[in-house]
Amino acid sequence: MRYETEQALHVKSLAMDVIEELVKDQSNYEPKDLKQVTEMFARCMCDLVNVYTNISEDHEMTLRGTVIKAKIGYNALKKCRTVIKD
């Protein structure tokens, strides 16, 4: 499998984990935390478009940064989740 494809699939996996986390019942998030997660994944989208359209000169470095941003976004979401108690 090509490196670019492998990294893109890794970002997709983290994005799917974020979706799973967000749709869980009994969770509450602060707007500032959701803003951080949204920013990280928006930056990931920009990076992936740059790689896909060959705007990025160093695909490997760009993709490494993209995976790191996705991990930061996912970890931020996991850290800020508070369970709503009845």
Structural domain boundaries in the chain: 3-83
pLDDT reading at 81 higher than 70: no
Is the CB of residue 69 less than 8 Å from the CB of residue 9? no
What would the pLDDT profile of 3-28 be if each residue is shown by its tens digit? 888 888 998 999 999 888 888 766 67
3-state DSSP assignment of residue 82: strand
Residue with tokens 């508070």: 82
What would the pLDDT profile of 23-74 be if each residue is shown by its tens digit? 876 667 888 888 988 999 999 999 999 988 999 889 889 999 999 999 999 8
pLDDT score at 86? 47
Residue with tokens 């990294």: 7
* Cβ neighbour number for residue 45 with a 10 Å cutoff: 13
